[in-house]
């Protein structure tokens, strides 16, 4: 356990030291809520949303609402079909300050396994992004791969670490990278709160965005229990 904590501190220190060279001087925040609701042995529904802000309480950057249907192939593997609506505001970056609205359809595969005693989760997602712009409509397609782990400290606390690479096909696979680490608190058996740091690096623009993240995650099980 001491090794895992030391590794976490080391990775976080590297990320924060690298972030000092970022051209953006604002420390923003991502607020996240997602619920996963099991309705049968094979099906579950995911619903939730995110709010991104350039500063902790001001300068809205993005609002996202999502709903998805999961099919559980087995305990380790599941697939999902999802729909998201996004309102993107880049007024802090653009003089025009116009909103961009996006309708997004996604397909994803999630796989979980253990490496020694360390739980590992993989997520591969394909997104079809349909933008409603001032000058018209456009569509882009994006590939995303995320790998992560959850390190249990005790019954109350855990550490969540994940890294995701995103590639937009139309932009010559222009990529971004998101590294996330957080302290998780188990509020109950079905609910946890995560307080963390997210580093979002945009390769094409060569900038780092640094975000504090507050996330609330719940799980419910609506399957009928056997008598």
Whether the pLDDT of residue 18 is over 80: the answer is no
Would residue 79 count as lying in a domain?
yes
The pair of three-digit structure tokens given for residue 145, joined into one six-digit string: 């791969």
CATH code assigned at 199: 2.40.160
Would residue 111 count as lying in a domain?
yes
Residue with the two structure tokens 């939730």: 48
Nearest to 93 by CA among 142, 127, 140, 59: 59
- CA 202/CA 16 separation, integer angstroms: 16
Per-residue pLDDT tens over the stretch 79-96 = 999 999 999 887 666 545
User: What is the signed CA dihedral for 73, 79, 82, 88, rounded to 10 degrees?
Assistant: 140
Would residue 56 count as lying in a domain?
yes
Q: How many domains does the chain have?
A: 1
Q: Is the pTM of this model over 0.95?
A: no
Q: Which phi and psi angles does 14 have, rounded to 5°?
A: -60, -45
Whether the pLDDT of residue 173 is over 60: the answer is yes
Would residue 181 count as lying in a domain?
yes
pLDDT at 94: 53
Would residue 227 count as lying in a domain?
no
pLDDT at 20: 39
| Domain boundaries, position 44 | 2-221
Would residue 226 count as lying in a domain?
no
Per-residue pLDDT tens over the stretch 23-78 = 356 788 999 999 999 999 999 999 999 999 887 777 788 999 999 999 999 999 99
């Amino acid at each position: 356990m001491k090794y895992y904590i030391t590794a976490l501190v080391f990775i976080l220190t590297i990320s924060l030291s690298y972030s000092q060279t970022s051209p953006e001087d604002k420390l923003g925040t991502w607020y996240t809520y997602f619920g996963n609701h099991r309705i049968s042995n094979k099906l579950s529904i995911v619903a939730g949303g995110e709010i991104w802000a350039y500063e902790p309480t001001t300068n809205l950057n993005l609002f996202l609402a999502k709903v998805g249907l999961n099919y559980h192939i087995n305990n380790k593997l599941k697939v999902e079909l999802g729909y998201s609506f996004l309102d993107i505001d880049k007024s802090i970056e653009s003089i025009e300050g116009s909103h961009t609205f996006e309708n997004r359809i996604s397909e994803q595969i999630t796989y979980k396994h253990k490496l020694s005693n360390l739980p590992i989760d993989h997520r591969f997602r394909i997104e079809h992004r349909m933008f409603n712009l001032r000058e018209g409509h456009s569509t882009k397609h994006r590939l995303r791969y995320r790998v992560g782990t959850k390190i249990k400290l005790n019954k109350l606390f855990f550490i969540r670490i994940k890294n995701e690479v995103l590639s937009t096909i139309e932009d010559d696979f222009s990529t971004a990278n998101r590294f996330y680490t957080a302290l998780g608190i188990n509020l109950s058996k079905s609910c946890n709160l995560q307080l963390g740091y997210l580093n979002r690096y945009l390769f094409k623009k060569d900038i780092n965005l640094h975000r504090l993240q507050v996330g609330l995650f719940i799980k419910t099980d609506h399957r009928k229990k056997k008598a």
